[in-house]
């Protein structure tokens, strides 16, 4: 049987028996490469264990052993067995197959057996030129006898050592860079902690100064501080836009600055919601917003925590923003923060 015939075997022809894998895959493969009549079965490895197949008549430093497993068995589960066979027998190469996958291992000092795989292929790929060329260099009897296989195995082992060395260098470089970055993170975290402490000190000093101002005034201390500013301006609130009363400095501190910023068209935008104003105590449930223009009066009422109500023809309509209400009521694009007034037309806030 040639390599093409072995590669073409169906799973049903191999079945799940280890003996079938040995007789229909391993033995024909070895015979293809000149080992017919040189196979020895169940030879003792020197420790009482029996090796499925050994090749007779080869130089002592070019011995090859073959271990077979039933179809469907995981080869990784038997690597310990391959390691022991190689150690006890002193073989150059150990092959292991379950009828579908074929691997070859050659021991390397300082490496685990799982890192010493010098060849692996699927049985179905045996006839592929690249695969057959490699396995021929490993198994051809002439190559084993004249020690060319030994030279090839050494090349593969050196390649493994070089590959792992390169990967270890990459890992070491990564660990060094990672260590430096972690140190930078710790330094940055320490600096952030210091900055936060400074922020706390600034806020504490500002609170102290505000308290001193309140204590020196006639204002009742139980009034929330944001309400003080709104109350102080309530007498003229009805004639000014809401952005003049609810200044950015009175808004709740967000993660980023919410001061009015010009957008790409040059218009002012405010990253503040009705809920923000309500939670900051700047507006309360029932707060009126109005605007009188073109002899027509518009009015909406705030409903906690985050919507506006407008009564039209006896029906309530709701909005989630000042601009949304202004645009809907006027039919034009309007910045509600500038358009609406707070309080009522009589100036009662």
Q: Are residues 152 and 232 in the same domain?
A: no
In a domain, 214, yes or no: no
pLDDT of residue 207: 85
Cis ω for the linkage preceding 305 (within 30 of 0): yes
pLDDT of residue 294: 63
- Mean pLDDT over 242-247 rounds to 54
104-108, 240-244, 270-274, range with greatest mean pLDDT? 104-108
- Mean pLDDT over 243-270 rounds to 48
Closest CA to 285 of 306, 265, 271, 299: 306
Residue 66 to residue 9: CA distance in whole angstroms: 20
Sign of CA dihedral 51, 52, 58, 61: negative
Per-residue pLDDT of 125-179, as tens digits, reads 999 999 999 999 999 999 999 999 999 999 999 999 999 999 999 999 999 999 9
> What is the pLDDT confidence band of residue 333, given thresholds at 50, 70 and 90?
confident
pLDDT of 252 strictly over 80? no
Q: Are residues 242 and 100 in the same domain?
A: no
Phi–psi pair at 176, nearest 5 degrees: -65, -45
Q: Are residues 11 and 138 in the same domain?
A: yes
Q: Are residues 12 and 147 in the same domain?
A: yes
Residue 88 to residue 100: CA distance in whole angstroms: 27
Burial class (CB in 10 A: 0-12, 13-18, 19+), 245: buried
pLDDT of 240 strictly over 60? no
Phi–psi pair at 249, nearest 5 degrees: -70, -15
pLDDT of residue 343: 61
- Which residue among 134, 162, 190 closes a domain? 162
CB within 8 Å of 88: residues ≥ 6 apart: 45, 46, 47, 49
Strand-by-strand arrangement of the 315-319 sheet: 315-319, 307-312, 296-303, 288-293, 341-342
Residue 87 to residue 212: CA distance in whole angstroms: 87
Task: Give the pair of three-digit tokens for residue 274.
Answer: 């009705």
In a domain, 200, yes or no: no
Q: Are residues 127 and 261 in the same domain?
A: no
Q: Are residues 113 and 248 in the same domain?
A: no
pLDDT of residue 312: 83
- Strands 39-44, 50-55: pairing is antiparallel
pLDDT of residue 254: 46
- Strands 50-55, 64-68: pairing is antiparallel
- Strands 93-97, 64-68: pairing is parallel
CATH number of the domain that residue 64 is part of: 3.90.1570
Q: Which residues pair with 303 in a beta bridge?
A: 307
Q: Are residues 126 and 245 in the same domain?
A: no
In a domain, 135, yes or no: yes
In a domain, 219, yes or no: no
In a domain, 287, yes or no: yes
In a domain, 39, yes or no: yes
pLDDT of residue 349: 40
Q: Are residues 30 and 139 in the same domain?
A: yes
Least confident segment among 8-17, 88-97, 247-256, 314-323: 247-256
In a domain, 9, yes or no: yes
Burial class (CB in 10 A: 0-12, 13-18, 19+), 129: exposed
Percentages helix, strand, coil for the chain (3-state, rounded to 5) are 50, 20, 30
Q: Are residues 38 and 118 in the same domain?
A: yes
What is the value of pTM for the model shown?
A: 0.55
CB within 8 Å of 250: residues ≥ 6 apart: 226, 229, 230, 280, 282
Q: Are residues 157 and 268 in the same domain?
A: no
pLDDT of 19 strictly over 50? yes
pLDDT of residue 280: 86
- Which residue among 162, 186, 201 closes a domain? 162
In a domain, 140, yes or no: yes
Domain total in the chain: 2
- Tokens 């430096």 appear where? 180
Q: Are residues 39 and 148 in the same domain?
A: yes
- Which residue among 162, 193, 209 closes a domain? 162
DSSP string, 119-180: EEEEGGGTTSHHHHHHHHHHH-HHHHHTTHHHHHHHHHHHHHHHHHHHHHHHHHHHHHHHHH
Task: Give the pair of three-digit tokens for residue 344.
Answer: 């009522």
DSSP string, 18-83: HHHHIIIIIHHHHHHTT-TT-EEEEEE-SSS-EEEEEE-S--GGG-EEEEE--TT--GGGGHHHHH
Q: Are residues 78 and 150 in the same domain?
A: yes
Per-residue pLDDT of 179-236, as tens digits, reads 999 999 999 999 998 998 999 899 889 888 888 887 787 766 544 444 444 444 444 4
Domain encompassing residue 30? 3-162
pLDDT of residue 241: 55
Q: Which residues pair with 302 in a beta bridge?
A: 308
């Amino acid at each position: 049987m040639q390599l093409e015939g072995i590669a073409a075997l169906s799973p049903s022809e191999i079945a799940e028996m280890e003996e079938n894998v040995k007789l229909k895959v391993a033995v024909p493969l070895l015979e293809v490469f000149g080992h017919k009549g040189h196979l020895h079965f169940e030879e003792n490895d020197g420790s009482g264990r029996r090796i499925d197949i050994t090749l007779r008549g080869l130089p002592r430093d070019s011995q090859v052993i073959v271990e077979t497993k039933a179809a469907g068995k995981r080869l990784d589960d038997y690597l310990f067995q391959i390691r022991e066979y190689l150690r006890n027998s002193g073989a150059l190469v150990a092959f292991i197959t379950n009828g579908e996958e074929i691997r070859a291992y050659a021991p390397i000092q300082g490496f685990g057996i799982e890192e010493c795989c010098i060849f692996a292929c699927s049985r179905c790929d045996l006839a592929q030129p690249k695969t057959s060329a490699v396995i021929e260099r490993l198994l051809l009897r002439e190559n084993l006898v004249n020690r060319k296989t030994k030279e090839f195995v050494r090349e593969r082992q050196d390649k493994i050592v070089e590959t792992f060395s390169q990967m270890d260098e990459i890992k070491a470089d990564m660990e060094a860079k990672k260590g430096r970055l972690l140190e930078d993170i710790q330094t940055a975290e320490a600096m952030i902690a210091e900055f936060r402490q400074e922020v706390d000190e600034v806020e504490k000093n500002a609170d102290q100064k505000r308290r001193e101002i309140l204590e020196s005034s006639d204002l009742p201390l139980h009034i929330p501080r944001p309400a003080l500013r709104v109350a102080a301006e309530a007498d003229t609130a009805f004639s000014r836009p809401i952005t003049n009363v609810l200044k950015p400095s009175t808004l709740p501190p967000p993660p980023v600055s919410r001061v009015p910023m010009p957008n790409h068209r040059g218009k002012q935008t405010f990253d503040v919601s009705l809920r923000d104003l309500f939670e900051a105590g700047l507006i309360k449930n029932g707060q009126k917003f109005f605007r009188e223009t073109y002899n027509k009066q518009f009015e909406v009422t705030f409903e906690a925590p985050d919507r506006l109500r407008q009564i039209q023809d006896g029906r309530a309509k709701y909005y989630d923003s000042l601009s949304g209400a202004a645009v809907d009521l006027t039919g034009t694009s309007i910045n509600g923060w500038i358009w609406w007034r707070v309080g009522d037309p009589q100036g009662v806030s």
